[in-house]
Amino acid sequence: MEIYLDNAATTQPATAVLLAMSECSRRCYGNPASWHRLGVEAAKVVERSRQTLAEALGAEPDEIVFTSGGTESNNLAVKGTAWAAGRRGKHIVISAVEHPSVTAAALSLEKLGVRVSLVGVDSEGLVDPAAVARVLTSATILVSVMHANHEIGALEPVQEIGRLCRGRGILFHCDACQSFTKEPLDVAKVPVDLLSVNAHKLHGPKGIGALYVRKGTALAPLFDGGGQEGGRRSGTLNTPAIAGFAAAIEAVDLRAASVMRRLRDRLWDSLRRAVPGIRLNGPRKARLCNNLNVMLPETESKPLLRKLSAAGIYASAGAACSSAKPEPSPVLLAIGLSPQETVRSLRLSLSRWTTQAQVDAAARAIVRLAGGS
């Protein structure tokens, strides 16, 4: 039995997604920018999918910009806002636990004279809105704080931070790639101006994402080209992947979050009882429903992951985009772990297809291989 517990990195595409992509590739292969019949049919697929995504977010269809994924969406939000602002403002605020695509994008703007403030987090990885308020200035043009952390699952107080930004006339961007369809987030209720999502974290295809851009938000494009997506994102649209994205959203089971949360807690309880000294990284309550990140008392995660993989159990030590880097996780350092403790941390992330039998088998294997009782 293979057990996949690396769903924070990517998920297995749903059958409905694969069928939608195959059908679209076969029948709607025209360029959606073309005016002939095949192009018009492809454009209809794109616009139906845009409507599906907009409804899932509580947005309007013309506020959705399709991208190649979360990384591009985050770069477009951060850099596009700064480039559009020009000399009106030269200050951006991000949290210390953002995804690298936000952090690196913001720091790259320092070469252009933009000042970047990093707001720290508490021991659970949570941002204090008051700490954000303290660093805001008249030059601040953007605050970027994610909805759910990609490593420790912390659910950030985006409602409060968004309200703070709205009151100061500052744009608020939220990376919701991990939480989209798992945790409630309605842009009609949360004061967010830019929001990043992608498909492959919810059983959709890789290489497709979107950026929600609230009406009236100034945003400069990353790419020069044909002016697709209302001039915000040039390039021929990936119609089959867009169709797959919509199919993934339509296949979401609203009851799955509570099931994942129950199984996640069952996994944690099993490990906590059997491994003396094991610690939870991140919050106990304000946590993404499918995320579990633990620090093992004596076992380094990479050798353990190799042993688990040999046994058909697949997990990770942290963010997949940073796994090739030897440096300790910035997220784990930000919550107070030492460099030695970061290399003993294990991330286990469930999907709506994870079963209780799989959770129990994974717990037994981790306990056995980590030297628990």
| HEC-encoded secondary structure of 21-80 | HHHHHHHCCCCCCCCCHHHHHHHHHHHHHHHHHHHHHCCCHHHEEEECCHHHHHHHHHHH
Q: Residue 36 and residue 80: Cα distance in Å, rounded?
A: 33
β pairing state of 209-213 and 171-175: unpaired
The helix/strand/coil state of 299 is: coil
54 and 178 share a domain?
A: yes
Centroid of chain to Cα 216: 25
β pairing state of 91-95 and 64-67: unpaired
DSSP one-letter string for 314-371: E-BSS-GGGTT--SPPHHHHHTT--HHHHTTEEEEE--TT--HHHHHHHHHHHHHHTT
186 and 321 share a domain?
A: no
Which residue among the candidates 165, 174, 289, 321 is catalytic per the annotation?
A: 321
> What pLDDT sits at residue 325?
58
- Do 142 and 78 contact (CB within 8 A), yes or no? yes
> What pLDDT sits at residue 254?
87
Of 250, 266, 284, the residue that ends a domain is: 250
Whether the model pTM is above 0.85? yes
324 and 348 share a domain?
A: yes
DSSP lists the bridge partners of residue 231 as none
Of 233, 250, 267, the residue that ends a domain is: 250
- Do 355 and 262 contact (CB within 8 A), yes or no? no
pLDDT tens across the length of the chain (373 residues):
899 999 999 999 999 999 999 999 999 999 999 999 999 999 999 999 999 999 999 999 999 999 999 999 999 999 999 999 987 889 999 999 999 999 999 999 999 999 999 999 999 999 999 999 999 999 999 999 999 999 999 999 999 999 999 999 999 999 999 999 999 999 999 999 999 999 999 999 999 999 999 999 999 999 999 999 999 999 999 999 999 999 999 999 989 999 999 999 999 999 999 999 999 999 999 999 999 999 999 899 999 999 999 999 999 996 665 555 568 999 999 999 999 999 999 999 999 999 999 999 999 999 999 875 5
Domain that residue 362 falls in: 3-11+253-369
> Is 165 in the active site?
no
Q: How many domains does the chain have?
A: 2
Element (H, E) at 136: none
Element (H, E) at 278: none
3-state helix, strand, coil in the chain (%, to 5): 40, 15, 45
Q: What is the CATH number of the domain that holds 75?
A: 3.40.640.10
Of 250, 283, 317, the residue that ends a domain is: 250
